[in-house]
Amino acid sequence: MTTAQRTVLDNSIRTNGATPNPWWANAVVYQIYPRSFQDTNADGIGDLKGITSRLDYLADLGVDVLWLSPVYKSPQDDNGYDIADYQDIDPLFGTLDDMDELLAEAHKRGLKIVMDLVVNHTSDEHAWFEASKDKNDPHADWYWWRPAREGHEPGTPGAEPNRWGSYFGGSVWEYCPERGEYFLHQYSKKQPDLNWENPEVRKAVYKMMNWWMDRGIDGFRMDVITQISKVVDADGRLPGEPGSTIADNPVGPEGYSSPFPFCSDGPRVDEFLAEMRREVFEGREGYMNVGEAPGVTPPRNEHITDPANGELDMLFQFNHVGVDQEPTSKWDVVPFKVANLRREMAEQQQAVAKAGWASLFFCNHDQPRVVSRWGDDSSEQTRVASAKAFALLLHLHRGTPYIYQGEELGMTSAHFTSLSQYRDLEALNAYRQRVEEAKIQSCESMMAALALIGRDNSRTPMQWDASARAGFMAADAPGEPWIDVNPNHAEINAAAEVDDPDSVYAFYKRLIALRHDNPVVAAGDWRLVDGTDERVYAFTRTLDGITLLVMVNVSGDCVRIPAESAALLGAAEADESHIVIATQGASLAAASLSKGKLEAWEGIVIQL
């Protein structure tokens, strides 16, 4: 890993508990959703050559790592998260040669490449699954196959092995006539779950991972990796299966029970992750392995990311991005409250205070744009102010920040108004199941939920300039992008922001540089301040006698600086010279401090 863009943290500073400190301890990761980043061949879908063409932009932004959503060969049922060949590139995105070129050009610029990897499931078009349909094939037990319930005709309602429902709608069980049995899929019916209980499955996965590492990639972000271990009884039966000694949960209003409690952070997760570390990563240097972690609590995050346990470097946890959703369904939305966000993020921070590490994110390909979700994109002024406020809030926490493409521009959610504009399998299936079939949600409320939290909100093309297709593809190309370009690209785009010192982009550059250069930001202890305030999220970061006070007004109102923060400021020389970074600039921040107030969406970091 080149260190051209940042200072390496001294080993006297504790980060995750490892010695020496990992290279990523003060790094910043940028997620690319390839199909929406840059199209170079006018087919409406972004490609690897497009990413290569934009590397100078990313290097100038200052990020250290590029995380690519899947580009493997795939039927694209779930936009590439259904992999048909782990060791080939889908023609939509290019070729293996294009991937090699991207790696070489990224490395020249001091950028690492981390690939998204899905090994909880494959596509049903993967050769392993095709072979698994034959009960006499060596791959017969590579997936979760089960017979129909006794007394029921296979393939008919009620014949499924248990009552579990898929996260993408319908049953988790799909009948396969060729085999005469059902297979388990927690997600789409074209995404059958691999059976990690079978050691041959694990060997094949590790062999493939080593192939990519040997090719020169710098690690993996592993999709839903904490769902690879399922709860089974002593005879290998899943909960709710006939004869199982483990009872299932009750059926919900959509007509199914949830597999989540039995398929997330299961009993063998630690064993499998430690084995993966030994078989793939041990003896290598300069890599990063990250796990998406459904069902993992903050204390479990500490265990999994503690280097002493030899599992993963960091995890993505989700409680903090579910604070505007009811626990029973993501489509039942509730008002955002800063108290709920603060509670969840504080728990994540406190869990890794002694060992382990945190991933910091508000946006990604599965989340809407934070500026529209919790901020205020109703005007240019409030959009810029709230985008900077959430950026400051996130990047001043302890951990590794992740920027999702366009977040550094303050890109907004899509604001789609018609179901026909959506492309996401999850959204379309949820609408059908909840509105049309189960009739448990009105069309109006479901459309409002999709507009707020639907995944397509973040998947619209990257807004490079004000041209007809936002610079994502040639303005005169004969086709159209795979999903609509946000009409506000004429005002919100990279070309308009890169040279504007007051832009959201310029503010992100400062935040990234601050993490690179200031050890307090990268590794300082985190402590919550004013933990009951309804609009201000405040905390301190402390290292080697230096303390930073972070205050962010997460509201559109001018508010008084809360008591504990005010007391800390009163005991220090809180003038403009001590302001480290502020969303509205140092002089305005100093004026706010002198009045004892924070303006709408104002964030200030001050050295006490």
Q: Hey, which residues are catalytic here?
A: 223, 292
- Token pair, residue 494, equals 């990279």
Residue 477 φ then ψ, to 5°: -65, 145
* Residue 591: exposure state from Cβ atoms within 10 A (0-12, 13-18, ≥19): middle
Residue 593 φ then ψ, to 5°: -60, -40
* CA proximity to 187, closest of 161, 163, 169: 169
Neighbouring-strand partners of residue 89:
72
Neighbouring-strand partners of residue 517:
none
- Show Cβ contacts of residue 262 under 8 Å, excluding neighbours closer than 6 positions: 230, 231, 238, 239, 246
Neighbouring-strand partners of residue 194:
143
Give CA–CA dist 116/103, Å, rounded: 15
Hey, is 332 helix, strand or coil? Answer: strand
Residue 34 φ then ψ, to 5°: -55, -40
Q: What share of the chain is helix, strand, coil (3-state, %, to 5)?
A: 35, 15, 50
Q: Are 538 and 547 in contact (CB under 8 A)?
A: no
Q: Are strands 559-560 and 314-316 parallel, antiparallel or unpaired?
A: unpaired
For every residue of 67-125, which 3-state class applies, written as one string? EECCCEECCCCCCCCCCCEEEEECCCCCCHHHHHHHHHHHHHCCCEEEEEEECCECCCC
Give CA–CA dist 202/204, Å, rounded: 5
- Token pair, residue 543, equals 């290292």
| Numbers of helices and strands, H then E, in the chain | 18, 22
Give CA–CA dist 523/6, Å, rounded: 14
Give Dmax over CA atoms of the chain in angstroms: 79
Question: Which own/partner pairs from 199-206 qualify as long-range (CB within 8 Å, at least 24 positions apart)?
Answer: 200/138, 200/142, 201/142, 202/272, 202/275, 202/276, 204/128, 205/119, 205/276, 206/275, 206/276, 206/279, 206/280
> Which amino acid, residue 115?
M
Cα dihedral value 328, 185, 47, 33, nearest 10: 20
- Show Cβ contacts of residue 117 under 8 Å, excluding neighbours closer than 6 positions: 70, 86, 209, 220, 221, 222, 223
Q: Are 25 and 84 in contact (CB under 8 A)?
A: no
* CA proximity to 534, closest of 551, 564, 554, 549: 554
Q: How many CA atoms lie within 13 A of 243 on its CB side?
A: 9
For every residue of 549-584, which 3-state class applies, written as one string? EEEEECCCCCEECCHHHHHHHHCCCCCHHHEEEECC
Q: What is the CA radius of gyration of the chain?
A: 24
